Structure 1
């Protein structure tokens, strides 16, 4: 179905790679109304397409907590309070959290001790946080501005799926 060619974190210009990734996300979700199925496929696609990633998945909003949703990687924390850890801060503020070194992030929740950097993107519907997309890496400072921009385009599209 897809030619899996992982995106390198070292590419100078990742714009085209993220555009292709967005097209793959759209293709995977075309005519599929089930949110969980879509999130499962997207987490798998991101895990296998992004180089130097050890976890990719979703936490879904449930009251004042985020609850583990579809993901790829090692078992993870099941519940995260909104406002705690990188995911909880993203949910509380509604802003992308790009952390170069999670060990220097006050209140970081270590689900996997091998994770060194992280990016978390909130997904909103009618202004309300519905979920967060969480991507972890064992590499320090793995995610740059180009990654954030490319992943924001994917997150923006995904907001139509939730």
Structure 2
């Protein structure tokens, strides 16, 4: 069941659909947020090619604080409205950045990252849990299919949080 075949062998929507199914199974019998976030990050990081960081920043009521992730050490705290993660959190909208070097106010935790996608994580009552952040060393690594797929993955993850 784990991991799915490389993305080059299948189309992205199919890959993300399979990952969503795997996430549902992986998180089904566990209610701990940190345990589920850790396994989610590991699964996605392992399944997606050309990714050098994948993880969570959790909202502590004031700012985003690094949570479970896969990749190099990360920035620990990010204010709302700063960088790609802070913008996604503040505006509650997915941020898709083809080249982080052209993004005003980008926070460079890893100088090798070139593109990034960040999905806000909202509870059923619309309060902010945090953000899901994925970086790539390739420019323009993420596209509309990745955006839809990441949002579906995050919805699946949030369903496990709400149960």
Give TM-score scaled by structure 1 length. Answer: 0.94
**What is residue 150 of structure 2 aligned with on the other side?**
151
1:105-124 mapped onto 2 (5 Å cutoff):
105-124=103-122
Asked whether the equivalents of residues 85 and 118 of structure 2 are also in contact (C-alpha less than 8 Å), the reply is yes
Mapped pair 1:57 → 2:55: yes
**What is residue 84 of structure 1 aligned with on the other side?**
82
The count of corresponding residues between Structure 1 and Structure 2 is: 160
**What is residue 15 of structure 2 aligned with on the other side?**
17
Asked whether the equivalents of residues 6 and 48 of structure 1 are also in contact (C-alpha less than 8 Å), the reply is no
1:44 Cα deviation from its structure 2 partner: 0.5
RMSD: 1.4
Asked whether the equivalents of residues 97 and 121 of structure 1 are also in contact (C-alpha less than 8 Å), the reply is yes
**What is residue 36 of structure 2 aligned with on the other side?**
38
Q: Structure 2 vs 1, CA of residues 5 and 62 (structure 1 numbering), >3 Å: closer, same or farther?
A: same
Give TM-score scaled by structure 2 length. Answer: 0.94
Q: Structure 2 vs 1, CA of residues 3 and 76 (structure 1 numbering), >3 Å: closer, same or farther?
A: closer
For 1:36-85, what per-residue CA distance to the aligned partner results, in whole angstroms no more than 9, with x for missing partners? 00000000011110000000000000122100000000000000001100
Higher helix share: 2
Asked whether the equivalents of residues 57 and 72 of structure 1 are also in contact (C-alpha less than 8 Å), the reply is yes
1:161 Cα deviation from its structure 2 partner: 2.8
Asked whether the equivalents of residues 3 and 43 of structure 2 are also in contact (C-alpha less than 8 Å), the reply is no
Question: Separation in 2 of the partners of 1:7 and 1:150?
Answer: 13
Mapped pair 1:5 → 2:8: no
Asked whether the equivalents of residues 112 and 137 of structure 2 are also in contact (C-alpha less than 8 Å), the reply is yes
Stretches of 4+ moved more than 4 A in 1? none
